Chain A
Amino acid sequence: MPTTVEHSRAEAVPSDAGWGPLSRLPGNPMMWILILGELAVFGVFFVGFAVARALDPVTFDASQAHLDRTIGAANTLLLITSGWLAALGARAEASGRNPRALLAGAAVLGVLFLAVKAREYGAEIGAGFYPETNTFFTLYYLLTGFHALHVVMGVVLLIIVAWLRGINNVETGCAFWHMVDLIWVILYPLVYLIR
């Protein structure tokens, strides 16, 4: 039977019950507020990019031709595989197994994604394409750079939840990671393929 002190401590910890519809989502509802906000921001970016291309398709299509579409697809495969490992990790945690190897694998693939992206940036800058080159490259560096920052945050989160296990923590870290994956799945065709 809990003591009075333990009881009052338990009462002090906020429960998910007051989060309304958000409590139906996996992981911490606070993370979902962040995820919904990030999706809204990226949504505006995506529509902004599409409209900017519509205003100047010649510059956008000529600039896009300098991107490596196959490397972009390879990075998509890396993130999808990483998302799969994270989902398996969350499933392992839910069934009482140790998810650390799976979450570490997901984080390593995230780091590999960043390494490929850095190499891609290096090649583009080496060829003389900078953020100030034109509107396409400004938006390209802005969108992919902002996404890469989220990959960095996601990798850190995966490491933290692999260390501080628990179903709520693991589901929360993985939810953020799948959001990063989801955004890239839309970003890749928009920036690299559509012309």
Chain B
Amino acid sequence: MGMALTRTWLILMLLTLTALSIGRPAGDALLGAAAVAGLLFVSGFKAVQILRNFLGLRHAGTGWQAVFILYLALIAAAILGAYLAAETGLLARLR
């Protein structure tokens, strides 16, 4: 059973380095919507791994897992939506 936790830990470490790489730590140029979507997907996947495996929500039933996944999806959608609004200048036009 400890092996499954260790596997999750290794996946999370690898995904953190993947997120850092997508976020191009050395540069200051805009990431673009595709990279931001990728970053949010990787981070959301990490969060689900923490919930299911570290927190043990795998054993709490599908209802609770759905609640937390919906929470993460709504936040990711709001962040991406705000990013797209800035990128297209939508909010600036509305102000």
Range class of the A interface residue count: 35 or more
Q: Which residue of B lies closest to A177 (CB)?
A: B54
> Which A-chain residue is minimally distant from B89 (CB atoms)?
A57
Q: A185-B46, A186-B75, A195-B31 are in contact. Are A87 and B54 (CB under 8 A)?
A: yes
Residue pairs across A and B with CB atoms within 8 Å: the count is: 133
Pick the residue among A81, A171, A188 that contacts B9 (CB under 8 A): A81
A153 touches B (CB below 8 Å): no
CB-based contact A73/B83 at 8 Å? no
Interface string of B57-95 (1 = CB under 8 A from A): 101110110000001101100110111011000010001
B10-53 interface bits toward A, Cβ cutoff 8 Å, 1 = contact, 0 = none: 00110011011011010010110000100110010011001101
CB of A194 within 8 A of CB of B60, answer no
Question: Which secondary structure dominates chain A's binding surface?
Answer: helix
- How many residues of B are in contact with the other chain, CB < 8 A? 49
A43-B75, A86-B54, A194-B39 known; A91+B5 contact, CB < 8 A: yes
**A interface residues, Cβ below 8 angstroms from B:** 21, 24-26, 39, 43, 46-47, 50-51, 53-55, 57, 61, 65, 69-70, 73, 76-77, 80-81, 83-84, 86-88, 90-91, 171, 174-175, 178-179, 181-182, 185-186, 188-190, 192-195
* Extra 10 A-B pairs, beta carbons < 8 Å, given A69-B25, A188-B19: A26-B60, A57-B86, A69-B20, A69-B23, A83-B9, A87-B54, A174-B55, A178-B51, A181-B50, A189-B40
A-B contact pairs, 22 of them (CB 8 A): A21-B63, A24-B61, A43-B71, A43-B74, A43-B75, A46-B75, A47-B75, A47-B82, A50-B79, A57-B86, A80-B12, A81-B13, A83-B54, A84-B6, A91-B1, A175-B55, A182-B55, A188-B43, A189-B40, A189-B43, A193-B25, A194-B31
